[in-house]
Structure 1
């Protein structure tokens, strides 16, 4: 499917080494975008970027830690120098953390929020001058179903992702006059490496997966490319009247009444 507004646009995708980030980078590259992937895992990122280049795409991989402002600033300067001004941003980098509220340390709290929430702001901050100068600039933040509905044991992930949705709405208002759209996608269960590793740790992986699938109205969980498709749509000119929105990509799980 052709998506207007993506061809030759420089798009930065954080957390691009695998999973949703890699799938998004691939979809954008297939539609003619000039893709810059950022990730802390340099080896896995380079393998992903090499695949894009082998397929004929213009792609760049830059090791960066989104929690560190200097790292973000330097990475985006490299993107600008190698590919040109940034025209779109996908804030996908994140960590899924499991802590007890009574035992979590301040350092652990700060570390989780630095990646899941502060990183999105830092990337926007250092891309903002380019985005303001671009025609039809767009930002997509990858939040989570946990921003609205969560389960026990997901503290502080749910809090950080709720904050990311709030950040999305606020920035959509702040940047609308600059012609910059800001939206979020909220994936539910998605067949990423982390989900596969979680299933493998269960006593009965097949039974655990069957239980997960049973609560999804569609009877399956999303593939990373399906989340990437929603991101690509929101970045494109087909979504030119959409800003401040949160789009669930959760197989209908968020619409289900428990019981």
Structure 2
């Protein structure tokens, strides 16, 4: 129950790592608010958890657009009170050629994968500053530190997440607020599974280069995030925690 008494807010909480954070968070004693754009998955998750006696609520919100994001956030806070711990998880992949990539694609992608983490901080920091307490985790990726060909938009955004988290940790420490990033490696989310089913050669190669010959699970990533949010990690701030089964330790 390391999050007992906390109000945990999660973006992209209906599936994948976000869903694992929500499921893990209720087990650790938090009341949870989350936003997503998939009503069906989100409502099913909320109904399941409420039936089990947990405090969970959801609002549909596009976190890449501030006013839409704020409207959903404000409704959730009005019901459960100020957010004390938060995770910026919403995002997607982007594979591109630097010449062919359109400016509109760049703007849309970065609004979701980078700017939304700033939006989350903009929304939850005022209350955290008043309480002189809070913890934020932004989800980056192994691609924020090392990458592969044709991932330049994704790698740039995830590198930005690490830098944003580091500087927020410096700026907000005086208020008793911690900010960190977590960088997953290859993780068996529904999105990755569907991709690997379409490209079995990619799956075989990914397993071949994985030092422990497997992918991580969303639950394994969520466990690190929940710990980092908690008081058990009270002196961890400004860090980027690599959760990748030692994949980053490979030279090639």
TM-score (norm 1): 0.94
Question: For 2:71 and 2:202, how far apart are their aligned partners in 1?
Answer: 43
Match of 1:241 in 2: 235
SS at match of 2:232: helix
For residues 21-52 of structure 1, give each alpha carbon's deviation from its aligned partner in whole angstroms, at most 9, with x where no partner exists.
00011101111101111111122111122222
Q: How far apart, in 2, do the equivalents of 1:201 and 1:135 lie?
A: 48
Alignment of 1:211 onto 2:205 = yes
Partner of 1:256: 250
Aligned 8 A contact 2:70 2:123 in 1: yes
In the other structure, the counterpart of 2:130 is 133
CA deviation string 1:93-132 (max 9, x = no partner): 0111112110111110000100000001011101111222
Residue in structure 1 matched with residue 143 of structure 2 by the alignment: 146
- In 2, the alpha carbon distance for the partners of 1:243 and 1:23 equals 22
How far is 1:231 from its partner? 0.3
| Structure 1 SS opposite 2:147 | coil
**Number of residue pairs matched?**
252
Q: Is residue 33–residue 56 contact of structure 2 (8 Å, CA) maintained in 1?
A: yes
Match of 1:41 in 2: 38
Q: Partner of 2:183 in structure 1?
A: 186
Residue 79 (str. 1) matches residue 76 (str. 2): yes
TM-score, length-scaled by structure 2: 0.97
Q: Which runs of 5+ in 1 are unaligned?
A: none
Alpha-carbon distance in 2 for matches of 1:135, 1:28: 22
Give, in whole Å, the separation in 1 of the partners of 2:131 and 2:56. 19
1: CA distance, partners of 2:210 / 2:103: 36
RMSD of aligned residue pairs (Cα, Å)? 1.2
Task: Please give the alpha-carbon distance, in whole angstroms, between the structure 2 residues aligned to 1:96 and 1:228.
Answer: 19
Partners of 2:132 and 2:175 within 8 A in 1: no
Indicate the residue corresponding to 1:225 in structure 2.
219
